Structures are given as structure tokens and as C-alpha cells.
Amino acid sequence: MEPSDWPTVGREWRAETGALAPAGLTSQLGLHRRENDMADVANQVANRIPTNLVVNGVRRTLDLVPWTTLLDALRDHLALTGTKKGCDHGQCGACTVLVDGRRVNSCLTLAVMTDGAEITTIEGLARDGALHPLQQAFIDHDAFQCGYCTPGQICSAAGLLAEGRAGDPDEIRELMSGNLCRCGAYPNIVAAIQQAVGRP
């Protein structure tokens, strides 16, 4: 391959040939790559997408870059930090919120995909100053220690109750298995959900 054939992106050249470009050329190519990346970011930032959400009953319009997750939109754009970021990879459930009544991992959901949806977070569960029955049940059963997983556990349990499938402890354990608790408060969490569903 002649130098004139080298692609403008150093990383691709390395991948294609398995070899390194001369030092001077590498830094030139790297600079070119960074300039391209920055131009891409600038273009994408310029192309923010207006996103309409009803969050905890309040209509909100956000101008978001397309890659903003619902979790980051809630925490960073709306200051609703009750929803927690645990793994940020869909594995722990700490970020669970309700989208149109359905529980979802907000870290795996792009905010623009929820345009027009009703979002309920832990901040939106209490009504008229009274705790949601699940919030009260978690207190009654001491269903948390550090509390980091608790907003996700409660939102997930609210979705579970709406699904009408919290029939017995085994079913609750199975259908809450996407919500991890590193403190191991599982028996208390199951008991709290049973109380909220009216099956102590």
C-alpha cells in the first residue's frame, strides 16, 4: 500500500493492515480523526430533538441529543435524582421507572423513544402527601438497608402490581428478579410487596 492510499483515519488503517503508520503520520491521522469526531458531535448537538414527556403528571419539553437515555434525562435534565444509576447496562434494575404504566430500565431506553409518554418515577408515587402503599410497606417491613436499589424496587413492584401477577412469594421473586439488592433485603422486599398487594 502506498502512503497516498492510506485512509484518513489511523484506526482503520491499523485494522486493515495490522501495521502501524510512521509516527508523524499517526499523529496527523489522529488529529484528523479527532477533528472529524468533534465535527460529528457538533452536528449532532445542533440536531437536538424536542421531546415531550409527562413526568409525574407534569408536561415537560426537553431538547435532547439523540443518545440521551431516559435515565439521564430524568436525573440530569429534570433533577429527578430519585431514580438511580447502578450498572447503566440493564442488569441491576436500579433505574426502573414506569413508562405508560409499564416498568422499564430507563438506562436502556432512549428518551426520544418515549416522546409523548407518561413517565412515573419514585417522586411521583405519593398522592396528596400520603405515601404509596408500596412505599409504606417497604417502611413497615424494613425492606431496605442502604436504599440505593429501593426506588427501582418500588417502581418495579408498582408495575408488577399493575400487571396483576404478584400471586405468591415465588411469583414475586421471579417477576422481581430484574431488580438486584446488594444489601440482600430480598425477604423483606417480598413481604412488603405481599402487604401492598393485600396478601400478607
Does 147 bind ligand FES (CB under 6 A)? Our answer is: yes
CA 48 – CA 177 distance, rounded (Å): 36
Q: Which of 92, 125, 158, 176 binds ligand FES (CB under 6 A)?
A: 92
CA 71 – CA 126 distance, rounded (Å): 20
CB of 159 to ligand FES, least distance (A): 14
Q: Which of 85, 140, 161, 169 binds ligand FES (CB under 6 A)?
A: 85
User: Applying CB under 6 A, which part among 9-17, 49-57, 88-96, 115-123 lies near ligand FES?
Assistant: 88-96
Does 181 bind ligand FES (CB under 6 A)? Our answer is: yes
User: Applying CB under 6 A, which part among 26-34, 41-49, 139-147, 156-164 lies near ligand FES?
Assistant: 139-147
**CA 41 to each of CA 9, 36, 75, 199: distance values in angstroms, whole numbers, following the listed order:** 17, 9, 22, 53
Composition of the chain by helix, strand, coil, percent to 5: 45, 15, 40
Contact 160, 190 (CB under 8 A): no
Cell of 166: 404478584
Positions that interact with ligand FES (CB under 6 A): 85-88, 90-95, 105, 107, 144-150, 181-183, 185
